[in-house]
């Protein structure tokens, strides 16, 4: 039998903790301090390069301005000078005053060189040179010549005292000028580092810089920022794969000189630029290690001093465990916390001995209470089981099929009527997805989308209201049903409960009725069209003038026959929509122009009824649909709102986004829709009462016709009504994003 390994003492843990804490503090302080100082140094180094770029740009702008002003003043002075020898002397003196003037020339108004330094190109026509045309156009600074020898031109028109053009003065500046500026600024820097300046044109061509880059085009983020007028520094990887710290700015011109619009880059290899930062970090690490060792040694000494009285108290407690009196002999030299701990332990031992019998009595009482609580839970469980059985009996006795679906779309309840209608037994259907077993494949996505919307927005528009849907049985046969869905929320259990009623026979009767109406409408259209045409001929006077009484009767008959023709056409269109034979020209359709067109079309009716039409909101929303059919729906809703609005009222129209759908809505403040009529609003020939037909006119087909069009666009049409206050009819179609 092996003896147990001795445990480490508190002194060891205190020493280790002190060491770890000192190391942690050293690391944290070193990291924070090092990071702060490093960032400040990086910022200082970057600002130094940005400042060098700014100095270079400023020096170039000032040097350009000096030449710009000198050439401008010379052009003004030569405007009144006619002696060619004096002009040649002036040009020679000007070239001698500044060694980077490569060529000075004065032309006449046609571009022929009259006087030039060194006699070069005298007598030749240089009007085709860019600097000649630019000077006349007011552009006095030319671009840098790309091919050696490199130069740029400064040219000004020369005019006499009457401001008549005498010629153009051109000064060609050698590119050695820019090289000299670079040496003046960067010679002190080059002695100690690899700082490199670059002058880049706005097009990205390196005009002056390292030999391997001159004449090449480069694309860098710093160039883009400098071209936009920004100045600063950044870390970038160049096309050769090396990483540089880059300061950048752009020449801005000086005084009247517009400048050359150059971009100045000053770069330095990142490793060399940040070498002072790396050296600082190394020093911080050395100091941190030394500090950590010093604190570790101090922690070890403090730990031994702290644990000495604790070890003595542990020996006394061991003796107490072996039968001694519940009192500890604490050394007088121990610190206050040890005395407090010893007194607490002695008091605890005495209380443990005194409370042992009380604990036994409490344990017996607790066991008795557990037995009583268990009996109560058993009774409650039996009651729950009885309630479940009663609910199951009620569901099985229901006249209509019943099933329940959880929020994932899985069937969790199923009664016998549902088994009879759909062919699935309870054992077979439970756990299966409703979208895969009870819904036609073409509607499966709608079910999943509705569940996702409810989970996300806690909204389901069809709750507690009857609605019609198509379902399928086990063999895939479609069954038309009327359903009513409720939502059950009992905390952990949340699901939809649905009762469905088979309406296949009712739908068959409606189909036969539709066929009958269609047949009768077809038989009526031909004679009605002929009657209407004949009445129009009589009304137009083709058969001669009619007496006044006869003319009124013919007008009344023509209006009535036109109304009958429209009624027959609406019935036929509705029948085609119901049977799926209506053709739609589907294309992107903007709802806002459609709303405005509908308002224009209904405006005469509104003016006759003294009703104002107001377009409240018109968001730029597009849907895919048949423009003419959707326009007819909008007109139907608007005309209906106008008919049922009191005189002087306002009908509000809006086009807004609702979720992923585009909504067209019409709001009126008329009498509203009676409660008893709301379930039949979208049925054929439906009107609130017989007086509506006499007072307002209409056939009761507009809403049924509109619903057929909207549903053919996979949308929905509905209304809300507060009688006498506000009624809103609207349709929604998926927005084409």
220-255 tens-digit pLDDT: 888 888 888 888 988 898 888 888 888 999 888 888
Confidence of residue 655 (pLDDT cuts 50, 70, 90): very high
Residues 504 and 482: their CA atoms lie apart, in Å, by 10
Q: Which residue has the higher pLDDT, 723 or 28?
A: 723
For position 417, what pLDDT does the model report? 87
For position 9, what pLDDT does the model report? 59
The listed CATH number (1.20.58.220, 3.40.50.720, 3.30.565.10, 2.40.50.140) that belongs to domain 584-737: 3.30.565.10
How confident is the model over 181-187, as a mean pLDDT? Answer: 68
Q: Sign of torsion, CA 471 472 478 479?
A: negative
Q: Contact at 8 Å (CB) between 471 and 481?
A: yes
Percent of the chain with pLDDT over 90: 13
Residues 115 and 107: their CA atoms lie apart, in Å, by 7
Residue 597's DSSP bridge partners are none
For position 656, what pLDDT does the model report? 93
Instruction: Decide if pLDDT at 192 tops 60.
Output: no
Three-class DSSP labels, 141-198: ECCCCCCCCCEEEEEEEEECCCCCEEEEEEEEEECHHHHHHHHHHHHHHHCCCCCEEE
Mean pLDDT over each residue of the chain, to the nearest integer: 80
Q: For the structural domain made of 503-582, what CATH number should be given?
A: 1.10.287
b/e for 114-152, b at 16 or more Cβ within 10 A? ebbbeeeebeeebeebebbebbbeeebbbbbeeeeebbb
pLDDT in tens, 388-437: 667 666 766 677 898 899 988 899 889 888 888 898 998 988 999 988 88
Strands 243-250, 232-237: parallel, antiparallel or unpaired by DSSP?
A: antiparallel
Architecture of domain 44-275 in this structure? 2-Layer Sandwich (3.30)
How confident is the model over 95-112, as a mean pLDDT? Answer: 87
Q: Which residue has the higher pLDDT, 367 or 325?
A: 367
Q: Sign of torsion, CA 709 712 713 719?
A: positive
Instruction: Report the phi/psi class of residue 323: left, alpha or beta, with left for phi > 0 and alpha for psi in -120 to 50.
Output: left
Q: Which stretch of DSSP H or E encloses residue 608?
A: helix 591-608
Instruction: Report the phi/psi class of residue 630: left, alpha or beta, with left for phi > 0 and alpha for psi in -120 to 50.
Output: alpha
Instruction: Decide if pLDDT at 729 tops 90.
Output: yes
Tokens of 259: 């400048």
Contacts of 482 (CB under 8 A, 6+ apart): 466, 467, 468, 500, 501, 503
For position 1, what pLDDT does the model report? 45
For position 693, what pLDDT does the model report? 42
Q: Which stretch of DSSP H or E encloses residue 707?
A: helix 702-712
DSSP annotation of 498 reads E
Instruction: Decide if pLDDT at 514 tops 70.
Output: no
Q: For the structural domain made of 398-502, what CATH number should be given?
A: 3.30.450.20
Looking at 104-113, 269-278, 447-456, which range is the least confident one?
A: 269-278
Query: Angle, to 10 degrees, between the axis of helix 275-321 and the axis of helix 10-78?
Result: 160
For position 223, what pLDDT does the model report? 85
How confident is the model over 383-388, as a mean pLDDT? Answer: 71
How confident is the model over 36-64, as a mean pLDDT? Answer: 82
Confidence of residue 324 (pLDDT cuts 50, 70, 90): low
Q: Where are the domains of the chain?
A: 44-275, 398-502, 503-582, 584-737
Tokens of 363: 């344990």
Tokens of 53: 């770029």
For position 716, what pLDDT does the model report? 92
Tokens of 523: 């038989």
- Assess whether the region 44-275 and the region 503-582 belong to the same CATH fold: no
Confidence of residue 325 (pLDDT cuts 50, 70, 90): low
pLDDT in tens, 555-592: 777 666 766 766 676 666 666 666 556 677 889 999 99
Number of Cβ within 10 Å of residue 13's Cβ equals 12
Q: Contact at 8 Å (CB) between 207 and 146?
A: no
Q: Which residue has the higher pLDDT, 30 or 436?
A: 436
Confidence of residue 694 (pLDDT cuts 50, 70, 90): very low
């Amino acid at each position: 039998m092996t003896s147990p390994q001795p445990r480490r003492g508190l002194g060891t843990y205190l020493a280790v903790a002190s060491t770890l804490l000192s190391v942690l503090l050293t690391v944290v302080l070193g990291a924070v301090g090092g990071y702060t100082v490093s960032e400040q140094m990086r910022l200082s180094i970057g600002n130094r390069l940005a400042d060098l770029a700014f100095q270079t740009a400023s020096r170039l702008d000032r040097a350009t301005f000096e030449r710009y002003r000198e050439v401008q003043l010379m052009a003004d002075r030569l405007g009144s000078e006619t002696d060619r020898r004096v002009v040649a002397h002036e040009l020679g003196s000007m070239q001698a005053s500044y060694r980077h003037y490569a060529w000075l020339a004065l032309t006449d108004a046609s571009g022929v060189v009259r006087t030039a330094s060194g006699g070069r190109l005298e007598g030749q026509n240089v009007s085709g040179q860019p600097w000649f045309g630019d000077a006349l156009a007011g552009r006095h600074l030319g671009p840098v010549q790309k091919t050696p020898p490199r130069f740029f031109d400064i040219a000004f028109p020369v005019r006499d005292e009457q401001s008549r053009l005498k010629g153009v003065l051109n000064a060609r500046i050698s590119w050695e000028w820019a090289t000299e500026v670079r040496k003046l600024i960067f010679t002190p820097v080059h002695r100690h580092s690899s700082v490199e300046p670059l002058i880049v044109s706005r097009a990205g061509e390196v005009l002056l810089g390292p030999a391997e880059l001159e004449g090449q085009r480069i694309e860098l983020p710093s160039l883009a920022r400098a071209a936009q007028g920004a100045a600063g520094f950044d870390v970038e990887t160049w096309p050769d794969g090396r990483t540089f710290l880059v300061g950048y700015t752009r020449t801005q011109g000086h005084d009247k000189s517009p400048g050359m619009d150059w971009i100045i880059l000053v770069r330095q290899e990142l490793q060399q630029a940040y070498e002072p930062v790396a050296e600082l970090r190394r020093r911080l690490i050395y100091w941190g290690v030394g500090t950590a060792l010093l604190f570790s040694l101090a922690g070890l000494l403090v730990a031994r001093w702290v644990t000495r009285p604790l070890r003595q108290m542990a020996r006394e407690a061991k003796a107490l465990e072996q039968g001694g009196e519940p009192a500890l002999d604490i050394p007088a030299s121990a610190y206050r916390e040890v005395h407090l701990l010893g007194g607490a332990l002695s008091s605890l031992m005495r209380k443990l001995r005194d409370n042992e019998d009380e604990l036994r009595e409490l344990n017996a009482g607790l066991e008795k209470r557990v037995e009583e609580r268990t009996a109560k839970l058993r009774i409650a469980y039996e009651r729950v089981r009885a309630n479940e059985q009663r609910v199951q009996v009620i569901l099985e006795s229901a006249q209509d099929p019943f099933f329940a679906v959880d929020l994932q779309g899985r069937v969790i309840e199923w009664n016998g009527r549902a088994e009879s209608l759909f062919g699935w037994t309870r054992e077979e259907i439970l756990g299966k997805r409703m979208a895969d077993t009870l819904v036609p494949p073409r509607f499966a996505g709608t079910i999943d989308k509705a569940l996702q919307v409810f989970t996300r927005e806690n909204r389901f528009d069809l709750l507690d209201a009857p609605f019609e849907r198509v379902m399928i049985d086990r063999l895939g046969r479609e069954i038309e049903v009327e359903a009513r869905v409720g939502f059950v929320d009992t905390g952990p259990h949340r699901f939809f409960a649905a009762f469905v009623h088979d309406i296949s026979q009712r739908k068959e009767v409606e189909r036969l009725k539709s066929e009958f109406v269609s047949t009768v409408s077809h038989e009526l259209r031909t004679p009605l069209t002929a009657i209407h045409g004949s009445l129009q001929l009589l009304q137009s006077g083709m058969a001669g003038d009619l007496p006044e009484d006869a003319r009124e009767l013919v007008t009344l008959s023509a209006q009535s026959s036109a109304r009958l023709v429209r009624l027959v056409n609406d019935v036929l269109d509705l029948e085609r929509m119901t049977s799926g034979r209506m053709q739609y020209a589907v294309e992107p359709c903007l709802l806002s122009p459609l709303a405005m067109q509908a308002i224009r079309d209904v405006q005469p009716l509104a003016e006759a009824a003294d009703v104002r039409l107001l377009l409240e909101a018109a968001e730029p929303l597009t849907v895919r649909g048949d423009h003419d059919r959707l326009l007819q729906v909008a007109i139907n809703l608007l005309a209906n709102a106008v008919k049922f609005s009191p005189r002087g009222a306002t009908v509000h129209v809006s086009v807004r986004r609702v979720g992923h759908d585009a909504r067209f809505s019409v709001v009126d403040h008329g009498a509203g829709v009676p409660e008893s009529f709301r379930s039949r609003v979208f049925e054929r020939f439906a009107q609130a009462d017989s007086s509506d037909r006499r007072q307002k006119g209409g056939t009761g087909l507009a809403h049924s016709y509109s619903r057929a069009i909207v549903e053919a666009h996979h949308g929905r049409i509905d209304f809300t009504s507060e009688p006498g206050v506000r009624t809103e009819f609207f349709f929604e179609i998926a927005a084409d994003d």
